[in-house]
Amino acid sequence: MRIISLAALSAALLISVPAAAQSTQSGTAATTAAQTTKLAENDADKKVCKRLATSGTRMAKRVCLTQDQWKKVDDEVK
């Protein structure tokens, strides 16, 4: 009796999870679209981290700058 109850409960949970996930996907899509638009506007302010090799050590140094700052660094190096 106990095993049958456990099996029925497990089956009910397996059936209900996809239905719950399906209803939240439409709301998530709208939120993701709004976030993408917001990120496109703030791409210049987004931090990008790179590991730079330093002389005298095998450890790379991590440097985080905005995309605009990286462009300026690249222009200075060239």
Total tally of structural domains belonging to the chain: 2
Q: Do residue 21 and residue 8 come from a single domain? A: yes
Rounded to two decimals, the pTM is 0.42
Q: Do residue 36 and residue 68 come from a single domain? A: no
Which tokens go with 67?
Answer: 């995309």
Q: Domain range for residue 55?
A: 42-78
Q: Do residue 47 and residue 74 come from a single domain? A: yes
- Note down pLDDT in tens along the chain; length 78 residues: 666 665 666 666 667 655 555 554 555 555 555 565 555 556 778 899 999 888 888 889 999 999 999 999 999 987
Q: Do residue 51 and residue 36 come from a single domain? A: no
Q: Do residue 34 and residue 47 come from a single domain? A: no
Q: Is there a contact between 63 and 50 (Cβ–Cβ < 8 Å)?
A: yes
- The residue among 51, 36, 43 whose CA lies nearest residue 71 is 43
Q: Do residue 51 and residue 22 come from a single domain? A: no
